[in-house]
Amino acid sequence: MSISGLFRFPAPLTRLCRVPQGLGLWEKLTLLSPRIAATVVQMAGKKDCPALLPLDENELEEQFVKGHGPGGQATNKTSNCVVLKHIPSGIVVKCHQTRSVDHNRKLARKILQEKVDVFYNGENSPVYKEKREAAKKKQDRKKRAKETLEKKKLLKQLWESSKNSTEKNH
């Protein structure tokens, strides 16, 4: 009996397609699959933030451990580095952040998606916008802190000088 009809192929890790506008990034991605939510890039949660360019699995080339051997119980490999290439742009990402092949695959896709977006969108990429916003916020915080400090100094000086003048008058 042929068993060829029994094969199931696991859903690709990311299969981000164009989805209806009006939804926030997070909602868009969780609609497609609960598992894809795990691969959502850091910009998720910002309702008015445009989505990153989607990655098509067919345009990706993935490489795991070379010479994996028979695999499974017959092998004990610790190298689970994932090398992921985006064929149209030629961008390659190497991920060995975690000890899990599965996590490295997801992380590699996340990093690759950001790089590919920057490649095509340049400075307009949400990746850069996010960085600029973060840098600006940091600058604003520093500025405010500095201003507050100066105000305190000024108040202190006024307090000191009013004390002195009161003493002189007595």
By CB under 8 A, name the binding residues for other proteins.
1, 3, 6-10, 34, 64, 68, 70-80, 95-103, 105
Q: Residue 39 CB, nearest distance to other proteins (Å)?
A: 14
Q: How far apart are CB 32 and other proteins at their closest, in Å?
A: 15
Cα separation, 50 vs 52, in Å, equals: 7
Place of tokens 């009006």: 22
Judged by beta carbon, residue 86 or residue 105, the one nearer other proteins is 105
Nearer CB in complex with other proteins: 20/34: 34
Compute the least distance from the CB of residue 110 to other proteins, in Å.
15
Cα–Cα distance measured from residue 47 to residue 168, given in angstroms and rounded to the nearest whole number: 62
Report the C-alpha gap between 136 and 130 in whole angstroms.
Answer: 10
Which amino acid is residue 71, in one-letter code?
G
97 versus 139: smaller Cβ distance to other proteins: 97
**Beta-carbon contacts of residue 12 (< 8 Å; ≥ 6 apart):** 57
By beta-carbon proximity to other proteins, the closer residue of 58 and 76 is 76
CB distance 5 to 26 below 8 Å: no
* CA-based torsion, 98, 45, 111, 21: positive or negative: positive
Smallest distance from other proteins to CB 16, Å: 19
